[in-house]
Amino acid sequence: MTGVIYARYSSDNQREESIEGQIRECTAFAEKNGITILRHYIDRAFSAKTDNRPEFQNMVKDSGKRLFDMVIVWKLDRFARNRYDSARYKAALKKNGVKVVSAAEVISDGAEGIILESVLEGYAEYYSADLSEKVIRGMTENALKCKYNGGTLPLGYQVDSEQFFQIDPLTAPFVLEKDIEFQIMELALIQVLAKIDCGVPLPFGCFLQFFQAPAAQNQYQRLLLQMQY
């Protein structure tokens, strides 16, 4: 019997050791059951909530060549965290004579195995959705407390030892200067529009400063409209 190994991790925060561990356990499972491994399909930093995974799609496509009989995964949540995708692609593989097997989860071929596999797939989808809600809730709470959530720091701020935003004395004056320029431009535009409403004729050049503003100026405007400011 021949097979391939599919391994995956979801986040850039995870390391290559995650893949190595999955392959090690899948390889041990294959050796124990007399399965010859032909290839490894590996997706790094791809979520199983979607089927938009390059190596996953290559694996499904290659199954049509009927070169292998089995796809071995560490756990079923490596294959999919979406019940629809799981059923859809298992059906596609089955059509090509390929079975998906979990190395770490003992699932029988009988009727009780169908129930257990459905429960495991449902839990995988629940875990992913629940984790997403918790992360969003935590990030929202951090934002309300003016705490840093990661990523690029907003211009004019720095982060203290407790991860709270503080005014950066070096860059804050620049942000304030651009904010004042932005407000002056807004006020000037309001005055121009008010004159138009009153029927005052204005030269066309009055509008160029607003509609032909340099790209950098537009970037500053977008920056200052962010919630942090």
* pLDDT, tens digit, 9 for 90 and up, residues 38-72: 999 999 888 877 888 999 999 999 999 999 999 99
3 state SS of 43: strand
Q: For position 38, what pLDDT does the model report?
A: 96
Q: For position 208, what pLDDT does the model report?
A: 45
Average pLDDT for 164-186? 71
Q: For position 97, what pLDDT does the model report?
A: 94
Spell out the residues 6+ positions from residue 32 whose beta carbon is closer than 8 angstroms to its own: none
Residues of the chain with pLDDT > 90, as a percent, come to 27
- Pick 2-132's CATH classification: 3.40.1280.10, 3.40.50.2300, 3.40.50.1390, 2.60.40.10: 3.40.50.1390
Average pLDDT for 21-28? 94
Q: Where does CATH 3.40.50.1390 sit in the chain?
A: 2-132
CB 45 within 8 A of CB 8: no
* pLDDT, tens digit, 9 for 90 and up, residues 129-156: 776 777 777 788 888 888 888 877 777 7
Amino acid letter, 126: Y
CB 3 within 8 A of CB 68: yes
Mean pLDDT is lowest, of 71-85, 93-107, 140-154, 209-223, for 209-223
Instruction: Provide the phi-psi class of 97: left if phi over 0, else alpha when psi is between -120 and 50, else beta.
Output: left
Judged against a pLDDT cut of 90, whether residue 31 lies above it is answered with: yes
Q: For position 211, what pLDDT does the model report?
A: 45
Distance CA 98, CA 70 (A): 5
Q: For position 202, what pLDDT does the model report?
A: 47
* pLDDT, tens digit, 9 for 90 and up, residues 96-137: 999 999 999 877 676 666 666 676 667 666 666 776 777 777
Q: For position 210, what pLDDT does the model report?
A: 45
